[in-house]
Amino acid sequence: MADAAPAKEYTLQPILAVSTRWDSNYFYRHADESSVVTWLVQPGFRFAYQAARTQAEFGATLDGTMYSGDDAELDSFVGWTAGVDVNSRPAEFRRLTLGLKDMLMYTRNPDFFGELRKSTSRELYKLNALTPYAEYDFDRFRTRLEYENTITRYDDKDAGEDSMLHKWSMKALYKMNRTFEFGPRLKAESISYDGNSDDYKGVDIGGVLTRNGKFVDLDGGIGYHKRMIDDAQDSDLDAISWQLDLQSQGTGFRKTKFSLSLLGDINDAATENGYYSTFQMKGTVERKLFKDVDIGVNMLCAWDDYKFTDRNDDTWKLGVTAGYAVTSWLKLVMEVSQQERDSSLDVNDYDNTSFTVKLNYIP
Radius of gyration (C-alpha) of the chain in whole angstroms: 22
39 within a domain of the structure (yes/no): yes
48 within a domain of the structure (yes/no): yes
4 within a domain of the structure (yes/no): no
133 within a domain of the structure (yes/no): yes
The pLDDT assigned to 233 comes to 63
Q: What pLDDT digit, counting tens, does each position of 40-87 carry?
A: 999 999 999 999 889 999 999 999 999 998 765 788 999 999 999 999
Residue spans of the chain under pLDDT 70: 1-7, 71-72, 115, 232-234, 251-252, 272
248 within a domain of the structure (yes/no): yes
The pLDDT assigned to 219 comes to 95
116 within a domain of the structure (yes/no): yes
Residue 207 and residue 193: Cα distance in Å, rounded?
A: 30
Amino acid at 350: Y
3 within a domain of the structure (yes/no): no
Q: What is the CATH number of the domain that holds 323?
A: 2.40.160.50
42 within a domain of the structure (yes/no): yes
pTM to 2 decimals?
A: 0.87
- Note every long-range contact of 218-225, with CB atoms under 8 Å and residues 24 or more positions apart, other chains counting: 218/244, 218/245, 218/246, 218/247, 219/243, 219/244, 219/245, 219/247, 220/244, 220/245, 221/185, 223/185, 223/187, 225/187, 225/265, 225/266
Residue 307 and residue 272: Cα distance in Å, rounded?
A: 12
Cα angle 53, 59, 63; round to 5: 170
Which residue range(s) make up the domain with 96?
9-361
Residue 221 and residue 210: Cα distance in Å, rounded?
A: 9
- Cα–Cα distances (Å) from 255 to 184, 211, 290, 293, in that order, read 36, 22, 9, 11
Quote the number of domains for the chain.
Answer: 1
The pLDDT assigned to 269 comes to 72
